Protein backbone atom coordinates (compact mmCIF):
# COMPACT_ATOMS: atom_id res chain seq x y z
CA UNK A 1 0.00 0.00 0.00
CA UNK A 2 2.70 2.44 1.06
CA UNK A 3 4.89 1.46 -1.85
CA UNK A 4 2.04 2.03 -4.22
CA UNK A 5 1.49 5.51 -2.86
CA UNK A 6 5.18 6.36 -3.22
CA UNK A 7 5.11 5.16 -6.80
CA UNK A 8 2.09 7.32 -7.52
CA UNK A 9 3.75 10.34 -5.95
CA UNK A 10 6.94 9.82 -7.96
CA UNK A 11 5.06 9.50 -11.21
CA UNK A 12 3.23 12.72 -10.39
CA UNK A 13 6.52 14.53 -9.88
CA UNK A 14 7.87 13.10 -13.10
CA UNK A 15 4.76 14.16 -15.00
CA UNK A 16 5.18 17.72 -13.75
CA UNK A 17 8.87 17.76 -14.68
CA UNK A 18 8.05 16.44 -18.14
CA UNK A 19 5.41 19.08 -18.62
CA UNK A 20 7.79 21.84 -17.56
CA UNK A 21 10.36 20.52 -20.00
CA UNK A 22 7.86 20.60 -22.87
CA UNK A 23 6.87 24.13 -21.98
CA UNK A 24 10.44 25.33 -21.79
CA UNK A 25 11.36 23.74 -25.10
CA UNK A 26 8.33 25.34 -26.75
CA UNK A 27 9.44 28.76 -25.51
CA UNK A 28 13.02 28.06 -26.54
CA UNK A 29 11.92 27.08 -30.04
CA UNK A 30 9.78 30.19 -30.41
CA UNK A 31 12.62 32.43 -29.26
CA UNK A 32 15.06 30.64 -31.56
CA UNK A 33 12.91 31.27 -34.62
CA UNK A 34 12.41 34.87 -33.61
CA UNK A 35 16.15 35.38 -33.12
CA UNK A 36 17.00 33.83 -36.46
CA UNK A 37 14.36 35.95 -38.16
CA UNK A 38 15.51 39.19 -36.56
CA UNK A 39 19.19 38.36 -37.09
CA UNK A 40 18.56 37.67 -40.76
CA UNK A 41 16.69 40.93 -41.25
CA UNK A 42 19.26 43.01 -39.39
CA UNK A 43 22.25 41.43 -41.06
CA UNK A 44 20.83 42.02 -44.56
CA UNK A 45 19.18 45.31 -43.78
CA UNK A 46 21.59 47.39 -41.75
CA UNK A 47 23.73 48.31 -44.79
CA UNK A 48 20.74 50.07 -46.35
CA UNK A 49 21.16 52.82 -43.80
CA UNK A 50 24.55 53.66 -45.36
CA UNK A 51 24.95 55.13 -48.81
CA UNK A 52 28.10 55.20 -50.91
CA UNK A 53 29.23 58.48 -52.44
CA UNK A 54 31.87 59.11 -55.11
CA UNK A 55 33.78 62.32 -54.55
CA UNK A 56 34.48 63.59 -58.03
CA UNK A 57 36.15 66.88 -59.06
CA UNK A 58 33.70 68.89 -61.16
CA UNK A 59 34.92 71.76 -63.31
CA UNK A 60 31.98 74.13 -63.63
CA UNK A 61 32.80 75.21 -67.15
CA UNK A 62 30.30 77.77 -68.42
CA UNK A 63 30.77 76.64 -72.00
CA UNK A 64 29.83 73.02 -71.34
CA UNK A 65 26.65 74.28 -69.69
CA UNK A 66 25.94 76.57 -72.66
CA UNK A 67 25.81 79.56 -70.32
CA UNK A 68 26.48 83.19 -71.25
CA UNK A 69 28.63 85.41 -69.13
CA UNK A 70 27.20 86.54 -65.78
CA UNK A 71 24.23 84.17 -65.84
CA UNK A 72 21.21 85.05 -63.71
CA UNK A 73 19.68 82.66 -61.14
CA UNK A 74 17.06 81.63 -63.71
CA UNK A 75 19.72 80.87 -66.27
CA UNK A 76 21.43 78.57 -63.81
CA UNK A 77 18.08 76.98 -63.03
CA UNK A 78 17.38 76.29 -66.71
CA UNK A 79 20.89 75.39 -67.80
CA UNK A 80 21.67 71.99 -69.30
CA UNK A 81 23.88 70.11 -66.86
CA UNK A 82 23.88 66.83 -68.70
CA UNK A 83 26.97 67.40 -70.81
CA UNK A 84 28.84 68.85 -67.84
CA UNK A 85 27.91 65.83 -65.81
CA UNK A 86 29.00 63.46 -68.56
CA UNK A 87 32.26 65.34 -69.01
CA UNK A 88 32.92 65.10 -65.28
CA UNK A 89 32.69 61.31 -65.42
CA UNK A 90 34.68 61.02 -68.66
CA UNK A 91 37.46 63.07 -67.04
CA UNK A 92 38.04 60.24 -64.59
CA UNK A 93 39.82 58.34 -67.37
CA UNK A 94 40.78 60.55 -70.28
CA UNK A 95 41.94 57.59 -72.38
CA UNK A 96 38.65 55.71 -72.13
CA UNK A 97 37.11 54.19 -75.23
CA UNK A 98 33.49 54.89 -76.12
CA UNK A 99 32.32 51.71 -74.44
CA UNK A 100 34.36 52.50 -71.39
CA UNK A 101 32.90 56.01 -71.30
CA UNK A 102 29.48 54.41 -71.15
CA UNK A 103 30.70 52.33 -68.20
CA UNK A 104 32.01 55.47 -66.52
CA UNK A 105 28.61 57.15 -66.89
CA UNK A 106 26.92 54.17 -65.27
CA UNK A 107 29.12 54.35 -62.19
CA UNK A 108 26.96 57.06 -60.69
CA UNK A 109 23.29 57.37 -60.05
CA UNK A 110 20.95 57.94 -62.97
CA UNK A 111 20.08 61.50 -62.09
CA UNK A 112 23.55 62.55 -60.98
CA UNK A 113 23.49 65.78 -62.98
CA UNK A 114 20.92 67.06 -60.48
CA UNK A 115 23.47 66.70 -57.72
CA UNK A 116 25.89 68.80 -59.71
CA UNK A 117 23.16 71.35 -60.42
CA UNK A 118 22.26 71.60 -56.72
CA UNK A 119 25.90 72.27 -55.90
CA UNK A 120 26.11 75.13 -58.36
CA UNK A 121 22.77 76.67 -57.35
CA UNK A 122 23.98 76.71 -53.76
CA UNK A 123 27.07 78.62 -54.77
CA UNK A 124 26.88 80.31 -58.23
CA UNK A 125 30.40 81.69 -57.79
CA UNK A 126 31.72 78.21 -58.58
CA UNK A 127 31.49 78.90 -62.33
CA UNK A 128 34.86 78.46 -63.90
CA UNK A 129 36.23 76.74 -60.82
CA UNK A 130 36.75 73.10 -59.89
CA UNK A 131 35.26 71.55 -56.78
CA UNK A 132 34.94 68.05 -55.31
CA UNK A 133 31.29 67.09 -55.45
CA UNK A 134 29.58 64.15 -53.71
CA UNK A 135 27.81 62.02 -56.31
CA UNK A 136 25.58 59.09 -55.41
CA UNK A 137 27.25 55.89 -56.56
CA UNK A 138 25.22 53.51 -58.67
CA UNK A 139 23.47 50.82 -56.66
CA UNK A 140 25.82 48.14 -58.02
CA UNK A 141 28.95 49.98 -56.90
CA UNK A 142 27.19 50.75 -53.63
CA UNK A 143 26.81 47.01 -53.13
CA UNK A 144 30.43 46.42 -54.17
CA UNK A 145 31.64 48.92 -51.58
CA UNK A 146 29.44 47.35 -48.90
CA UNK A 147 30.92 43.95 -49.78
CA UNK A 148 27.56 42.51 -50.82
CA UNK A 149 28.62 42.02 -54.44
CA UNK A 150 30.30 38.81 -55.60
CA UNK A 151 33.34 40.18 -57.40
CA UNK A 152 34.68 36.74 -58.24
CA UNK A 153 31.87 35.94 -60.69
CA UNK A 154 32.87 35.85 -64.36
CA UNK A 155 32.41 39.29 -65.92
CA UNK A 156 29.54 38.34 -68.22
CA UNK A 157 27.45 37.33 -65.22
CA UNK A 158 28.00 40.62 -63.41
CA UNK A 159 26.30 43.96 -63.91
CA UNK A 160 29.56 45.64 -62.89
CA UNK A 161 32.28 45.47 -65.54
CA UNK A 162 35.93 44.84 -64.83
CA UNK A 163 36.68 48.33 -66.12
CA UNK A 164 34.22 49.91 -63.66
CA UNK A 165 35.79 47.91 -60.82
CA UNK A 166 39.25 49.06 -61.84
CA UNK A 167 38.26 52.75 -61.84
CA UNK A 168 36.28 52.28 -58.62
CA UNK A 169 39.25 50.66 -56.88
CA UNK A 170 41.43 53.56 -57.98
CA UNK A 171 38.90 55.99 -56.50
CA UNK A 172 38.85 54.00 -53.25
CA UNK A 173 42.61 54.18 -53.09
CA UNK A 174 42.52 57.94 -53.60
CA UNK A 175 40.02 58.22 -50.75
CA UNK A 176 37.39 59.42 -53.16
CA UNK A 177 34.73 56.93 -52.03
CA UNK A 178 32.85 57.64 -48.83
CA UNK A 179 30.04 55.94 -46.96
CA UNK A 180 27.58 58.20 -45.16
CA UNK A 181 24.24 57.84 -43.37
CA UNK A 182 21.55 57.22 -45.97
CA UNK A 183 19.18 60.09 -45.23
CA UNK A 184 17.55 59.78 -48.63
CA UNK A 185 16.14 56.39 -47.62
CA UNK A 186 13.79 58.28 -45.32
CA UNK A 187 13.21 61.43 -47.38
CA UNK A 188 12.92 60.13 -50.94
CA UNK A 189 9.88 58.46 -52.46
CA UNK A 190 10.14 55.16 -54.29
CA UNK A 191 12.33 55.03 -57.39
CA UNK A 192 13.27 52.55 -60.10
CA UNK A 193 16.90 53.21 -59.16
CA UNK A 194 17.73 51.31 -55.99
CA UNK A 195 20.23 53.91 -54.81
CA UNK A 196 17.57 56.63 -54.94
CA UNK A 197 14.62 54.65 -53.60
CA UNK A 198 13.26 55.71 -50.22
CA UNK A 199 10.31 54.99 -47.99
CA UNK A 200 8.93 58.53 -47.68
CA UNK A 201 5.89 57.92 -49.86
CA UNK A 202 5.00 54.56 -48.37
CA UNK A 203 5.62 55.78 -44.83
CA UNK A 204 3.30 58.74 -45.31
CA UNK A 205 0.84 56.45 -47.10
CA UNK A 206 0.80 54.15 -44.09
CA UNK A 207 0.34 57.04 -41.67
CA UNK A 208 -2.55 58.49 -43.68
CA UNK A 209 -4.21 55.08 -44.07
CA UNK A 210 -3.96 54.42 -40.34
CA UNK A 211 -5.38 57.84 -39.53
CA UNK A 212 -8.33 57.36 -41.88
CA UNK A 213 -8.82 53.89 -40.41
CA UNK A 214 -8.74 55.26 -36.85
CA UNK A 215 -11.11 58.14 -37.57
CA UNK A 216 -13.68 55.80 -39.11
CA UNK A 217 -13.28 52.60 -37.12
CA UNK A 218 -12.89 53.97 -33.58
CA UNK A 219 -16.11 55.95 -33.18
CA UNK A 220 -18.24 53.45 -35.09
CA UNK A 221 -16.84 50.49 -33.17
CA UNK A 222 -17.07 52.12 -29.75
CA UNK A 223 -20.65 53.27 -30.30
CA UNK A 224 -21.65 49.84 -31.59
CA UNK A 225 -19.96 48.13 -28.65
CA UNK A 226 -21.54 50.42 -26.04
CA UNK A 227 -24.98 50.02 -27.53
CA UNK A 228 -24.71 46.24 -27.83
CA UNK A 229 -23.25 45.78 -24.37
CA UNK A 230 -25.21 48.28 -22.32
CA UNK A 231 -28.46 49.11 -24.07
CA UNK A 232 -29.47 46.47 -26.60
CA UNK A 233 -32.06 43.96 -25.45
CA UNK A 234 -30.72 40.42 -25.27
CA UNK A 235 -32.67 38.55 -27.90
CA UNK A 236 -32.12 36.39 -30.94
CA UNK A 237 -31.46 39.31 -33.21
CA UNK A 238 -28.69 40.75 -31.03
CA UNK A 239 -27.23 37.27 -30.62
CA UNK A 240 -27.20 37.03 -34.40
CA UNK A 241 -25.38 40.35 -34.66
CA UNK A 242 -22.85 39.27 -32.05
CA UNK A 243 -22.08 36.03 -33.87
CA UNK A 244 -21.62 37.93 -37.10
CA UNK A 245 -19.27 40.47 -35.57
CA UNK A 246 -17.11 37.57 -34.43
CA UNK A 247 -17.36 36.11 -37.94
CA UNK A 248 -16.33 39.43 -39.43
CA UNK A 249 -13.17 39.36 -37.33
CA UNK A 250 -12.24 36.07 -38.95
CA UNK A 251 -12.85 37.09 -42.56
CA UNK A 252 -9.61 36.95 -44.60
CA UNK A 253 -8.31 40.43 -45.30
CA UNK A 254 -8.25 39.95 -49.05
CA UNK A 255 -12.04 39.75 -49.00
CA UNK A 256 -12.15 43.25 -47.58
CA UNK A 257 -9.82 44.28 -50.41
CA UNK A 258 -12.32 42.94 -52.95
CA UNK A 259 -15.06 44.80 -51.14
CA UNK A 260 -13.05 48.01 -51.38
CA UNK A 261 -12.40 47.39 -55.04
CA UNK A 262 -15.99 46.50 -55.87
CA UNK A 263 -17.76 49.14 -53.82
CA UNK A 264 -15.48 52.03 -52.94
CA UNK A 265 -13.73 52.20 -56.31
CA UNK A 266 -16.33 50.81 -58.72
CA UNK A 267 -19.55 52.14 -57.20
CA UNK A 268 -18.52 55.27 -55.29
CA UNK A 269 -15.73 56.15 -57.74
CA UNK A 270 -13.30 57.15 -55.00
CA UNK A 271 -9.77 57.91 -56.26
CA UNK A 272 -7.81 54.68 -56.54
CA UNK A 273 -4.41 54.00 -54.98
CA UNK A 274 -5.16 56.52 -52.23
CA UNK A 275 -4.82 56.18 -48.46
CA UNK A 276 -8.47 57.27 -48.20
CA UNK A 277 -9.72 54.10 -49.87
CA UNK A 278 -7.02 52.05 -48.15
CA UNK A 279 -8.00 53.47 -44.77
CA UNK A 280 -11.71 52.79 -45.30
CA UNK A 281 -10.95 49.21 -46.35
CA UNK A 282 -8.69 48.70 -43.35
CA UNK A 283 -11.29 50.21 -41.04
CA UNK A 284 -13.76 47.49 -42.07
CA UNK A 285 -11.12 45.00 -40.96
CA UNK A 286 -10.33 46.79 -37.70
CA UNK A 287 -13.97 47.37 -36.76
CA UNK A 288 -14.70 43.93 -35.30
CA UNK A 289 -11.39 43.89 -33.41
CA UNK A 290 -12.21 47.15 -31.66
CA UNK A 291 -15.83 46.14 -31.02
CA UNK A 292 -14.71 42.90 -29.39
CA UNK A 293 -12.03 44.65 -27.28
CA UNK A 294 -14.44 47.39 -26.22
CA UNK A 295 -17.20 44.93 -25.29
CA UNK A 296 -14.78 42.80 -23.32
CA UNK A 297 -13.57 45.77 -21.33
CA UNK A 298 -17.13 46.99 -20.75
CA UNK A 299 -17.97 43.53 -19.46
CA UNK A 300 -14.98 43.70 -17.13
CA UNK A 301 -16.29 46.80 -15.34
CA UNK A 302 -17.62 45.45 -12.02
CA UNK A 303 -21.43 45.45 -11.87
CA UNK A 304 -21.21 47.01 -8.41
CA UNK A 305 -20.11 50.29 -10.02
CA UNK A 306 -23.16 50.28 -12.29
CA UNK A 307 -25.42 49.47 -9.34
CA UNK A 308 -23.88 52.24 -7.26
CA UNK A 309 -24.52 54.80 -9.98
CA UNK A 310 -28.04 53.56 -10.71
CA UNK A 311 -28.90 53.59 -7.01
CA UNK A 312 -27.75 57.22 -6.84
CA UNK A 313 -30.45 58.02 -9.36
CA UNK A 314 -28.23 58.19 -12.42
CA UNK A 315 -30.05 57.29 -15.61
CA UNK A 316 -28.85 54.40 -17.73
CA UNK A 317 -27.16 56.86 -20.06
CA UNK A 318 -25.43 58.70 -17.21
CA UNK A 319 -24.29 55.46 -15.63
CA UNK A 320 -22.80 54.37 -18.91
CA UNK A 321 -21.17 57.64 -19.87
CA UNK A 322 -19.95 58.72 -16.43
CA UNK A 323 -18.77 55.40 -15.07
CA UNK A 324 -18.77 52.37 -17.30
CA UNK A 325 -17.26 53.85 -20.45
CA UNK A 326 -14.41 55.77 -18.74
CA UNK A 327 -13.49 52.63 -16.81
CA UNK A 328 -13.47 50.58 -20.00
CA UNK A 329 -11.35 53.06 -21.96
CA UNK A 330 -7.87 51.66 -21.18
CA UNK A 331 -8.92 48.26 -22.51
CA UNK A 332 -10.69 49.78 -25.50
CA UNK A 333 -7.73 51.98 -26.40
CA UNK A 334 -5.16 49.23 -26.19
CA UNK A 335 -7.49 47.00 -28.25
CA UNK A 336 -7.75 49.82 -30.79
CA UNK A 337 -4.00 50.22 -31.04
CA UNK A 338 -3.52 46.51 -31.50
CA UNK A 339 -6.21 46.57 -34.20
CA UNK A 340 -4.42 49.46 -35.91
CA UNK A 341 -1.09 47.68 -35.66
CA UNK A 342 -2.73 44.75 -37.43
CA UNK A 343 -4.06 47.08 -40.12
CA UNK A 344 -0.62 48.66 -40.48
CA UNK A 345 0.89 45.33 -41.46
CA UNK A 346 -1.89 44.47 -43.89
CA UNK A 347 -0.88 44.05 -47.54
CA UNK A 348 -3.43 42.07 -49.51
CA UNK A 349 -6.43 44.46 -49.38
CA UNK A 350 -4.18 47.42 -50.26
CA UNK A 351 -2.80 45.64 -53.29
CA UNK A 352 -6.35 45.06 -54.50
CA UNK A 353 -7.37 48.69 -54.20
CA UNK A 354 -4.30 49.76 -56.17
CA UNK A 355 -1.93 50.98 -53.49
CA UNK A 356 0.64 48.76 -55.16
CA UNK A 357 1.09 51.27 -57.99
CA UNK A 358 4.53 52.79 -58.49
CA UNK A 359 4.33 56.14 -56.71
CA UNK A 360 7.31 58.46 -56.92
CA UNK A 361 5.75 61.43 -55.16
CA UNK A 362 5.28 61.97 -51.45
CA UNK A 363 1.54 62.16 -50.65
CA UNK A 364 0.45 65.36 -48.93
CA UNK A 365 -3.06 64.22 -48.06
CA UNK A 366 -5.11 60.99 -47.94
CA UNK A 367 -6.38 61.84 -51.42
CA UNK A 368 -2.96 61.56 -53.10
CA UNK A 369 -1.81 58.24 -54.51
CA UNK A 370 0.54 56.44 -52.16
CA UNK A 371 1.92 53.05 -51.27
CA UNK A 372 2.17 51.69 -47.75
CA UNK A 373 5.08 50.13 -45.90
CA UNK A 374 4.08 46.47 -46.29
CA UNK A 375 3.19 47.02 -49.93
CA UNK A 376 6.54 48.75 -50.44
CA UNK A 377 8.22 45.66 -49.05
CA UNK A 378 6.24 43.59 -51.52
CA UNK A 379 7.17 45.84 -54.46
CA UNK A 380 10.87 45.87 -53.62
CA UNK A 381 10.98 42.16 -52.92
CA UNK A 382 9.86 41.64 -56.52
CA UNK A 383 12.66 43.79 -57.95
CA UNK A 384 15.71 42.10 -59.36
CA UNK A 385 18.40 44.66 -58.48
CA UNK A 386 20.73 43.69 -55.70
CA UNK A 387 20.29 47.13 -54.17
CA UNK A 388 16.66 46.39 -53.33
CA UNK A 389 17.49 43.30 -51.26
CA UNK A 390 18.87 45.32 -48.37
CA UNK A 391 16.11 47.88 -48.83
CA UNK A 392 13.48 45.18 -48.26
CA UNK A 393 15.06 44.26 -44.95
CA UNK A 394 15.49 47.89 -43.98
CA UNK A 395 11.84 48.59 -44.75
CA UNK A 396 10.85 45.58 -42.64
CA UNK A 397 12.94 47.02 -39.82
CA UNK A 398 11.12 50.35 -40.07
CA UNK A 399 7.74 48.58 -40.12
CA UNK A 400 8.65 46.40 -37.14
CA UNK A 401 9.92 49.44 -35.26
CA UNK A 402 6.61 51.18 -35.96
CA UNK A 403 4.66 48.15 -34.71
CA UNK A 404 6.79 47.80 -31.58
CA UNK A 405 6.24 51.46 -30.74
CA UNK A 406 2.48 51.06 -31.20
CA UNK A 407 2.30 47.98 -29.03
CA UNK A 408 4.46 49.64 -26.41
CA UNK A 409 2.05 52.55 -26.44
CA UNK A 410 -0.88 50.16 -25.92
CA UNK A 411 0.91 48.63 -22.93
CA UNK A 412 1.67 52.03 -21.44
CA UNK A 413 -1.95 53.15 -21.75
CA UNK A 414 -3.16 49.97 -20.14
CA UNK A 415 -0.68 50.21 -17.28
CA UNK A 416 -1.02 53.88 -16.62
CA UNK A 417 -4.78 53.96 -16.33
CA UNK A 418 -5.23 50.65 -14.61
CA UNK A 419 -2.81 51.52 -11.84
CA UNK A 420 -4.36 54.83 -11.12
CA UNK A 421 -7.25 53.65 -8.98
CA UNK A 422 -6.40 50.26 -7.66
Nearer to other proteins, 147 or 303 (CB): 303
Interface with other proteins (CB under 8 A), residue from 305, 404, 405, 408: 305
- 420 interacts with other proteins by CB under 8 A: yes
Interface with other proteins (CB under 8 A), residue from 23, 57, 219, 302: 302
Interface with other proteins (CB under 8 A), residue from 11, 318, 361, 365: 318
Nearer to other proteins, 16 or 418 (CB): 418
- 308 interacts with other proteins by CB under 8 A: yes
Interface with other proteins (CB under 8 A), residue from 5, 312, 384, 419: 312
- 327 interacts with other proteins by CB under 8 A: yes
Interface with other proteins (CB under 8 A), residue from 62, 211, 232, 310: 310
Least separation in angstroms between CB 240 and other proteins: 18
Nearer to other proteins, 265 or 298 (CB): 298
Interface with other proteins (CB under 8 A), residue from 172, 248, 314, 381: 314
SS (H, E, C) the chain: CHHHHHHHHHHHHHHHHHHHHHHHHHHHHHHHHHHHHHHHHHHHHHHHHEEEEEEEEEECCCCCCCCCCCCCHHHHHHCCCHHHHHHHHHCCCCCCCHHHHHHHHCCECCCHHHHHHHHHHHCHHHCCCEEEEEEEECHHHHHHHHCCCCCCCCHHHCCCCHHHHHHHHHHHHCCCEEEEECCHHHHCCCCCCHHHCCCHHHHHHHHHHHHHHHHHHHHHHHHHHHHHHHHCCCCHHHHHHHHHHHHHHCCCHHHHHHHHHHHHHCCCCCCCCCHHHHHHHHHHHHHHHHHHHHHHHHHCCCHHHHHHHHHCCCCHHHHHHHHHHHHHHHHHHHHHHHHHHHHHCCCHHHHHCCCCCCCCCCCCCCCCCCCCHHHHHHHHHHCCCHHHHHHHHHHHHHHHHHHHHHHHHHHHHHHHHHHHHC
Nearer to other proteins, 306 or 391 (CB): 306
Which residues ranging from 202 to 241 are in contact with other proteins (CB under 8 A)? 233-234
Interface with other proteins (CB under 8 A), residue from 102, 315, 361, 411: 315
Least separation in angstroms between CB 327 and other proteins: 7
- 1 interacts with other proteins by CB under 8 A: no
- 309 interacts with other proteins by CB under 8 A: yes
- 269 interacts with other proteins by CB under 8 A: no
Least separation in angstroms between CB 222 and other proteins: 20
The residues that touch other proteins, with contacts defined as CB under 8 A, are 233-234, 302, 304-315, 318, 322-323, 327, 420-422
Amino acid sequence: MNKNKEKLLNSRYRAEKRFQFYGKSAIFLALLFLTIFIFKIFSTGYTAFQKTWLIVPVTFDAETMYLDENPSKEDLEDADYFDLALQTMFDLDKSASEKQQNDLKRMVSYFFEREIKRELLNDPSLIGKTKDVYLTASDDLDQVFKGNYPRDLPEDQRRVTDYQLKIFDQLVEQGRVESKFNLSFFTYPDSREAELAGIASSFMGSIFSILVCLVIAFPVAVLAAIYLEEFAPKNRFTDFIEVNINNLAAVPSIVFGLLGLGILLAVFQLPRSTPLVGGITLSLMTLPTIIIACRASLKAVPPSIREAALAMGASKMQTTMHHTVPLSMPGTLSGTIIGLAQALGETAPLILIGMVAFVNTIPGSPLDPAASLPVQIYIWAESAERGFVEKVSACIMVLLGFLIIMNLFAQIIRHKFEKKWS
